[in-house]
Chain A
């Protein structure tokens, strides 16, 4: 037990929590926007992979880091366009299209990698985002290291979560997006385009997912590996449910999951880690997340028209 307390009071633990939570927050916000508009985007896992790859490759080819972020976002939006074209105007199964997008995006990253770096055995490194040095705050004892030692992309992620909440709840656009996910007929009856709203939401959401993936290559690590997304996309889908489709709660969920993850990594290196099999530690964040999901999402209000294609003129 004392090992756990030691970990919890160390500044590096909290720095790790925020770092691990960043891609989850970005991609969860992306998924949340899609689902609020009524589209389940199971392409998230693949879109994160393509984002990680495209951002890294752009920077490796000489673009600045923010240029890499923009390229990742663009790549994500492109796959979002494909997803939403198939699921919104054509009304195809969101499950099948989403899984197809995940396979296609993952394979595209792999294909482009082989095409662009044919002779390379280990992926080249880039110079990633550096921790932002904030005057005064970064020099604070404990807090300075625990919280104010993050890269610009992390700050951007948290700002983005705030922006998503603000747009969804405080603007006419957000109201229209939420209504498209609740009762598209109501949106249509007001002369707004359900198709436009849903496609726009899926594209913006997919862009955010891709930036979440790009955080891994441009900030957390300095290179690209095929397995690096490693199921984070699926975790984000669970986090949306955990957060009851509300941005604030979803961010909390991402931080909670990240804390479990950071904790298990550190626990493996303690005497407890020598006793218990390491697989148990790896599984712990997922098991705890499932438990939290069950407890938290009981009274969640699912967008009523989630996964229901809307066909104009059909009753």
Chain B
């Protein structure tokens, strides 16, 4: 390495090792970052990406190894020192206070606690200048709680820039963005690197890594398994590195759909605070068809999911099952009519954390004669059922008496999937079924959805991941501000067009026949 190249190194991680009990989350990881470059940290969930960045930023203390920023070692476990050294981190879960203004969130901690006055006008001017320089448009006086997810991310980036960060770490920054918002973020990052900043970009989305990063470091099971120049590699090669072998996600083949099993006719639901309800939505779920619902979260997906799950009633319009209007719609009626449900939040609505697998397995069916008679539970039958699910759906766990909170997200989701699939539902609501799962679990869950479709189920797939929507859906709708786009049959629409609909374009100019 020549002296000139060496001078450019802004960050060096040297032999970082971190163990959590028996698990080695990071195993002697080395990484260098040079000025003005974007390095992607690629890996599946649980590969150790976030742990590594938390060590760099001082949230965790490494068991071994050291961090050097601009040639100076960073004291471990001290976020303040990391900030002072010019490291800024945008966490996957934003660390913003919703009740405070954008400006308050940005300036928090930048002035000595005991200094008088807030210096708001100077701060406002600096934020405005940064907004302009980096193309990060946001109103400094707005309350963060009222901002969209994309805007909140801009606040997080501004927060780092306001502290004169020279190294930006972005943890899964695009997970919550529309394709257009992601493009805007990339534009911001390109401006930042042009101004001499360096960026670490954590992701598991290959196409993003390919488009923004100069170099890519691949992590698997806590180890660096490869470091490649993105200009000399391709997605297939990266994917193979990431999962340690070839793995292809299932793609559903086209089929002719059957009769509509569940239909909404001009349904509207009330808004919930800032989250819009459905606006005059008509939709049919047909047998043997996966209907994909794309959209940025918080645009009415929850209202639609609640409606189908029986948790809500339409304020106006009609809900019909197999052609006849439903009466007394409720979760219990929905289950009885053959609606299977994979809820959006497996931790809070899909399971009861401190119940064991047996209890969680029968949560939706405990009243059926199979599991209870004359008001008494038949725990033996319930346990047998749980064992069937564990075996049939490959739930990796110590046994049916394990509390479900101890399972990984993927295994928890497999149990919930099995619970929903066991009664062979005619209609299946799959709300974000693979969110937060690793590639192996994603492939499994998606193949199960496809085989349920092939058995004749009508499936509504709600997802923010366009790749997932495009790969599985027979027809695609986009939801934006509670309005539903027309149906796009498989292969008739490009990602960019879906992105425009997600951003609310196309809805103007009258109602579309859906």
Let me know if A189 is at the binding interface, CB within 8 A: yes
Let me know if B114 is at the binding interface, CB within 8 A: yes
- Within 181-234 of A, Cβ neighbours of B (below 8 Å) are at 182-183, 185-192
Pairwise interchain contact A178-B100, C-beta atoms closer than 8 A: yes
Among candidates A170, A186, A192, A315, residue contacting B97 with C-beta atoms closer than 8 Å: A186
Pairwise interchain contact B97-A171, C-beta atoms closer than 8 A: no
Pairwise interchain contact A189-B107, C-beta atoms closer than 8 A: no
- B113 to chain A: closest residue by CB: A173
Number of B residues with CB within 8 Å of any CB on chain A: 34
Q: Smallest Cβ distance from B93 to chain A, in angstroms?
A: 8
- A173 to chain B: closest residue by CB: B113
Pairwise interchain contact B97-A183, C-beta atoms closer than 8 A: yes
CA distance A301 to B108 in the complex (A): 20
Pairwise interchain contact B96-A183, C-beta atoms closer than 8 A: yes
CA distance A179 to B95 in the complex (A): 10
Interface string of B83-105 (1 = CB under 8 A from A): 11000010101011111100011
Given A182-B100, A188-B79, A313-B59: A175 in contact with B95 (beta carbons within 8 A):
no
Q: Which segment of B6-14, B115-123, B222-230, B306-314 sits at the interface?
A: B115-123
Pairwise interchain contact A191-B109, C-beta atoms closer than 8 A: yes
CA distance A61 to B115 in the complex (A): 39
Q: Smallest Cβ distance from B466 to chain A, in angstroms?
A: 27
Q: Which residues of A contact B99 (CB under 8 A)?
A: 178, 182, 301, 303-304
Given A186-B105, A313-B59: A175 in contact with B118 (beta carbons within 8 A):
yes
CA distance A267 to B114 in the complex (A): 49
Pairwise interchain contact B111-A172, C-beta atoms closer than 8 A: yes
Q: In terms of DSSP, what is the predominant structure of the interface of chain A? A: helix
Let me know if A42 is at the binding interface, CB within 8 A: no
CA distance A313 to B61 in the complex (A): 10
CA distance A66 to B57 in the complex (A): 48
Among candidates B59, B91, B93, B108, residue contacting A176 with C-beta atoms closer than 8 Å: B108
Q: In terms of DSSP, what is the predominant structure of the interface of chain B? A: loop
Q: Which residues of B contact A185 (CB under 8 A)?
A: 91, 93, 95
Pairwise interchain contact A186-B116, C-beta atoms closer than 8 A: no
Q: Which residues of A contact B81 (CB under 8 A)?
A: 191
Let me know if B78 is at the binding interface, CB within 8 A: yes
Q: Which residues of A contact B113 (CB under 8 A)?
A: 172-173, 176, 192
Q: Which residues of A contact B58 (CB under 8 A)?
A: 191
Q: Which residues of A contact B231 (CB under 8 A)?
A: none
- Within 266-315 of A, Cβ neighbours of B (below 8 Å) are at 301, 303-304, 312-313, 315
CA distance A190 to B98 in the complex (A): 16
Pairwise interchain contact B109-A183, C-beta atoms closer than 8 A: no
Given A170-B117, A175-B118, A313-B59: A191 in contact with B79 (beta carbons within 8 A):
yes
Pairwise interchain contact B115-A179, C-beta atoms closer than 8 A: no
Among candidates A172, A191, A303, residue contacting B118 with C-beta atoms closer than 8 Å: A172
Given A186-B108, A190-B109: A304 in contact with B100 (beta carbons within 8 A):
no
Pairwise interchain contact A170-B109, C-beta atoms closer than 8 A: no
Interface string of B26-61 (1 = CB under 8 A from A): 000000000000000000000000000000011110
Let me know if B112 is at the binding interface, CB within 8 A: yes
Pairwise interchain contact A189-B104, C-beta atoms closer than 8 A: no
Q: Which residues of A contact B110 (CB under 8 A)?
A: 172, 190
CA distance A189 to B88 in the complex (A): 10
Let me know if B235 is at the binding interface, CB within 8 A: no
A-B contact count (CB 8 A): 88
Q: Which residues of B contact A303 (CB under 8 A)?
A: 99
Q: Which residues of A contact B95 (CB under 8 A)?
A: 183, 185-186, 188-189
Q: Which residues of B contact A191 (CB under 8 A)?
A: 58, 78-84, 109
Pairwise interchain contact B96-A186, C-beta atoms closer than 8 A: yes
Among candidates A172, A173, A178, A188, residue contacting B107 with C-beta atoms closer than 8 Å: A172
CA distance A179 to B99 in the complex (A): 9
Pairwise interchain contact A173-B114, C-beta atoms closer than 8 A: yes
CA distance A170 to B123 in the complex (A): 13
Interface string of A149-189 (1 = CB under 8 A from B): 00000000000000000000011110110110011011111
Pairwise interchain contact A176-B118, C-beta atoms closer than 8 A: no
Q: Which residues of A contact B78 (CB under 8 A)?
A: 191
The residue in A178, A186, A187, A192 that gathers the most chain B C-beta atoms within 10 A of its C-beta is A186
CA distance A188 to B79 in the complex (A): 8
CA distance A185 to B91 in the complex (A): 10
Pairwise interchain contact A171-B79, C-beta atoms closer than 8 A: no
Q: Smallest Cβ distance from A98 to chain B, in angstroms?
A: 23
Among candidates B60, B82, B91, B107, residue contacting A175 with C-beta atoms closer than 8 Å: B107
- B103 to chain A: closest residue by CB: A175
Q: Smallest Cβ distance from A203 to chain B, in angstroms?
A: 15
Q: Which residues of B contact A171 (CB under 8 A)?
A: 115-118
CA distance A173 to B108 in the complex (A): 9
Among candidates B60, B104, B108, residue contacting A187 with C-beta atoms closer than 8 Å: B108
Given A172-B107, A182-B99, A182-B100: A190 in contact with B118 (beta carbons within 8 A):
no
CA distance A315 to B81 in the complex (A): 21
- A169 to chain B: closest residue by CB: B118
CA distance A185 to B93 in the complex (A): 10
Pairwise interchain contact B98-A304, C-beta atoms closer than 8 A: yes
Q: Which residues of A contact B117 (CB under 8 A)?
A: 170-171
Among candidates A178, A187, A301, residue contacting B109 with C-beta atoms closer than 8 Å: A187
CA distance A266 to B113 in the complex (A): 47
Pairwise interchain contact B115-A189, C-beta atoms closer than 8 A: no
Among candidates B60, B79, B84, B111, residue contacting A189 with C-beta atoms closer than 8 Å: B79
- B89 to chain A: closest residue by CB: A189
Pairwise interchain contact A179-B79, C-beta atoms closer than 8 A: no
Among candidates B60, B108, B114, B116, residue contacting A190 with C-beta atoms closer than 8 Å: B108
Q: Which residues of A contact B96 (CB under 8 A)?
A: 183, 186
Q: Which residues of A contact B104 (CB under 8 A)?
A: 175, 178-179
Known: A186-B97, A303-B99. 12 other contacts (CB 8 A): A175-B108, A175-B118, A176-B108, A178-B99, A179-B97, A179-B104, A182-B100, A187-B109, A190-B83, A191-B79, A191-B82, A192-B80
Report 13 cross-chain contacts, Cβ distance below 8 Å, ordered by A residue.
A172-B107, A175-B100, A175-B108, A178-B99, A189-B89, A190-B108, A191-B58, A191-B79, A191-B82, A191-B109, A301-B99, A303-B99, A304-B98
Q: Show the binding face of A for B, using Cβ within 8 Å.
A: 170-173, 175-176, 178-179, 182-183, 185-192, 301, 303-304, 312-313, 315
- Nearest 4 interchain pairs by C-beta: A191-B80, A190-B109, A182-B97, A186-B95
